[in-house]
Amino acid sequence: MAAELQEGLRRVRAHSTTPLAIGEVFNTVYDFTTLVTEQLVDYLRMPIAHGGGVTHLLKVAAFASIYHVAIGFHGATDLSPVSLAAALHFDMAINNFGIQEFMPHAEEVREVFRTNYAFEKGHLHIDDSPGIGVELDEDKARLYPYAMASLPVNRKVDGTLFHW
């Protein structure tokens, strides 16, 4: 469902008891206004890297908490270990944390970034390292030169371009 037609979630909500999550392509608290005020979703998924950082996301989380909507950050591997570590610390700091998406990064990424989080038995754990607990090994990073990448372009059945 396109984010621009949020009112369409009224129909989904009316016919389903499945928890709904949306927002990994959203960037501001204003993108969520209808979804939150009408309680059309259960989880907001905007990543810290897309959502203006910690300060703006504190506003998003506070706004959502008024309407009993939880935060469930996007955590796909197109976001760095730095982004995941920041999300984990943010999760621990808000009262309406719901769930954290986690996809393990490739071995090369784990070699370059040393992190203080670990995934064990379905849970992510962080230790008490200073900062957000991520260190970059610059020597290892040099072994993996930057290669341009892009996300796929989606097309509708009629061939028109469509964001995903």
Which domains occur in the chain, in start order? 3-151 (3.20.20.120)
Residue length, the chain? 164
Q: Which residue has the tokens 């950082």?
A: 53
> pLDDT tens across 92-130, in order?
999 999 999 999 999 999 999 999 999 999 999 999 888
| Start-end of H helices in 102-137 | 107-112
Please compute the mean of the pLDDT values over residues 84-91 and round it to a whole number: 94
The burial class, CB within 10 Å (0-12 / 13-18 / 19+), for 145 is exposed
pTM listed for this prediction = 0.84
Mean pLDDT over the full length of the chain: 90
Is the distance from CB of 61 to CB of 71 less than 8 angstroms?
yes
pLDDT at residue 155 in the model:
77
pLDDT at residue 1 in the model:
47
> pLDDT tens across 59-72, in order?
999 999 999 999 99
DSSP code of residue 107: H
Residue 4 pLDDT > 90: no
